[in-house]
Amino acid sequence: SQKIEQNSEALNIQEGKTATLTCNYTNYSPAYLQWYRQDPGRGPVFLLLIRENEKEKRKERLKVTFDTTLKQSLFHITASQPADSATYLCALDRGGSYIPTFGRGTSLIVHP
């Protein structure tokens, strides 16, 4: 089965810096990878999807990369703001299933 690793330690950065979060996976290469944001007491909110044939995807201050050789996705937030503080989850497909597998998420804390 697919295993996903996200850094369990919180990432603390200063406002204005670029935050970089990592999602590593084992076993097969997924057809797609998604990133979600989750605030305390709320459900996850979809941010970006990147497909296996895409190297990079951007949306405003967000950028996602997908390296199938390294079995890794990086999620970047440029010019970070305290409002970006949240937990970020990555999710991968299960090899043909309609049900993604979610990582545990990494907490990001942006200090003013």
Partner 1 sequence: GAGVSQSPSNKVTEKGKDVELRCDPISGHTALYWYRQSLGQGLEFLIYFQGNSAPDKSGLPSDRFSAERTGGSVSTLTIQRTQQEDSAVYLCASSLSGGAQETQYFGPGTRLLVL
Taking CB under 8 A as the criterion, which residues in 28-87 touch partner 1?
A: 31-32, 34, 41-46, 49, 51
72 burial class (0-12, 13-18, 19+ CB within 10 angstroms)? Answer: middle
Residue 10 within binding range of partner 1, rule CB under 8 A: no
Do the beta carbons of residue 11 and residue 106 sit within 8 Å?
yes
Q: Where are the alpha helices (DSSP H) in the chain?
A: none
Q: How far apart are CA 51 and CA 36, in angstroms?
A: 15
Which one, 65 or 106, has the nearer CB to partner 1? Answer: 106
Q: Which of 17, 55, 59, 104 binds partner 1 (CB under 8 A)?
A: 104
Residue numbers at the binding site for partner 1 (CB under 8 A) = 4, 8, 31-32, 34, 41-46, 49, 51, 89, 91, 93, 96-105
